[in-house]
Chains A and B, each alone.
Chain A
Amino acid sequence: DSHIQYERVGADVTMKCGSMDWDAAVTWTANGTDIDESHLNGSYLILKNVDLTQSGQYSCYEGSSWHLKYQTYLRVGTPPKEPVLMCRSNNYPKGFYCSWHLPTPTYIPNSFNISVIHGTREMVCEKDVFPKNRCHIRYLQLFSTVKYKVTLTVTNALGKDSTTLTFDEFAIVKPDPPESVVAKPVPNNPRRLEVSWQNPSSWPDPESFPLKFFLRYRPLILDQWQHVELSDGTSHTITDAYAGKEYIIQVAAKDNDIGTWSDWSVAVHATPWTEEPKHLTTEAQVTETTSASTSSFMPPPTTKICDKGAVVGSGAVAVCWTAGLVLAAYGVLFI
């Protein structure tokens, strides 16, 4: 007879050898290894203050015949703690998904049950095949002021716990980050970088549910980001880049009207166009140099600290460097 037995960490466990009498002569093994008689009380196996390492197969054999009389698989674990639950709509207005995890492992199997209630209506959250701690719901109604109530209960052999989230339709809308972000230098423009991107492919109808975007960029050598918010379009030209410096650029997205900003996109790097140095000729040799990112930083003579006229694009809002910050940057570059 084989069983599975679940016990809490720290518990004292007593195992009986099936129907054998207390005073029967038996031998217990753990994962095939004999257990010392000091752990026995008659034919009972006593395990005090069990820990995770004591999980395994326990077998009991009759003393003389070595017949297997009882076998059990001991799983030592813990009851579940309150699960962490998150719900989000990255494909609005189609639906939303909820995903969850346990803050600490239980070391034994857990089952999850999720209920979603909208007003008086109970909705079915269909479990995803992968990842398995996730389910999704299709919206039956849009633009409702009635809140959704999602309750997740986690149960295992040692106990259960639950958590509840309450939210309205608009609050959980958060698109995936923009995709295919590309940044390129602009020929003959040492201070410009052209950035383009695409709507996240998970956003089903950008025409009716347009996204707005937030772009951030900085030279690799500096820590402070510059930000631009764009109410339409999927491209922007940076016009105040430092000549010859490599930049890191990211974009985030948000529904025009509701919800929160996406995570930042994958970062892309680009360096503005630089002019090739003029050829130097001597009697002895002709030396050719190519423009490289290792060229020293020489700002254009007419560079302004904040070129307000360089802001382009409808709905773009530029944040200008302060004079002190630029001077500090100059200082860093020449160390």
Chain B
Amino acid sequence: MAAPDSPSAALRRHDLCSRGIRLAGKMRSDVVDLLDTYVERQGLDASASVAAVEGVPAAAAERWDEQTGTQRLLENLVAYRTFRALLAQMLEEHREQLGEADAALGQALAAILLQVSAFAYHLEELLRLESSGPPSEEGAGPSPPLHLSLFERKLRGLGVLRELAQWAVRSARDLRQLAKPGLGSSSAPSLAESP
């Protein structure tokens, strides 16, 4: 494996970051479209405020600009592995609930799941370029299914998609930070103070 700072590793990192940024942008756009469909099909109010949902990784970050590259990758990877499991669960529940009655929504969910998986793969590849490598998947994924009513499951699904949309924006920013020239994985960028 190439050393983390070798030219080939830098090129590979840049390539993975560029593709990851594009994937994050497409993912966000598709999740936002899916949110509109989901709200409508599930009979929810688009302005409904969903409190922090247990087991859903929150995109909110304090001192985001002070994170190192490795911290960014690890937080992203944990989040997207969790989303992968959450979306698989949502897809399963959707099929049980509606069968083939709403194939479009099921297909849209499946497409997002695919993108989330692809993005997780990108993150794993980026971490392999760092000396640490990606963590194992033991213990990753959501907690055992809660006994939620149908309405609670719908609200939870809304929370999952909303948080995923935030993550997609954050991930593009994280990868742009990572792609900045001269920044190693262990150094944190400093945002110049502006008046």
Contacts and interface: CB of A to CB of B under 8 A. Distances in A.
B60 A143 contact: yes
B191 A258 contact: no
B65 A93 contact: yes
Given A204-B191, A208-B177, A141 B169 contact: no
A143 B191 CA distance: 17
Given A143-B61, A146-B60, A208 B25 contact: no
Nearest to B62: A141
Interface string A204-243: 1101111000000000000000000000000000000000
B28 A257 contact: yes
B191 A257 contact: no
A14 to B, nearest CB: 52
B194 A202 contact: yes
| Chain B at the A interface: SS class | helix
Interface in A78-104: 91, 93-94
B194 A141 contact: no
Contacts of A287: none
B19 interface: no
A94 B191 contact: yes
Interface string B168-195: 0110110011001000000001011010
B151 interface: no
Interface string B107-150: 00000000000000000000000000000000000000000000
B194 A91 contact: yes
Given A142-B170, A143-B170, A210-B176, A94 B194 contact: yes
A144 B169 CA distance: 11
Main SS at interface, chain A: loop
B163 A145 contact: yes
B80 to A, nearest CB: 14
Q: Name the residue in A142, A144, A147 with the highest tally of chain B Cβ atoms < 10 Å from its Cβ.
A: A142
A140 B170 CA distance: 15
Contacts of B172: 257
B115 to A, nearest CB: 16
Interface residues of B, number: 25
A208 B64 contact: no
A70 interface: no
B162 interface: yes
A204 B189 CA distance: 13
A144 B166 CA distance: 7
A208 B162 CA distance: 22
A312 B163 CA distance: 37
Contacts of A202: 194
Interface string A130-170: 00000000001111111100000000000000000000001
B173 A170 contact: no
B60 A141 contact: yes
Contacts of A142: 60-61, 64, 170
A93 B189 CA distance: 14
B16 interface: no
A207 B25 CA distance: 16
Contact of B166 (A94, A143, A210): A143
A311 B28 CA distance: 28
Interface of A: 91, 93-94, 140-147, 170, 202, 204-205, 207-210, 256-258
Given A143-B61, A205-B192, 5 more contacts: A93-B64, A93-B191, A141-B62, A144-B60, A258-B169
11 contacts: A140-B62, A141-B62, A145-B58, A145-B60, A145-B163, A147-B49, A170-B169, A205-B191, A208-B173, A209-B176, A256-B25
| Shortest Cβ-Cβ A-B pairs, 10 listed | A144-B60, A143-B59, A143-B170, A208-B176, A204-B194, A142-B64, A141-B60, A143-B166, A257-B169, A208-B177
Interface of B: 25, 28, 49, 58-62, 64-65, 162-163, 166-167, 169-170, 172-173, 176-177, 180, 189, 191-192, 194
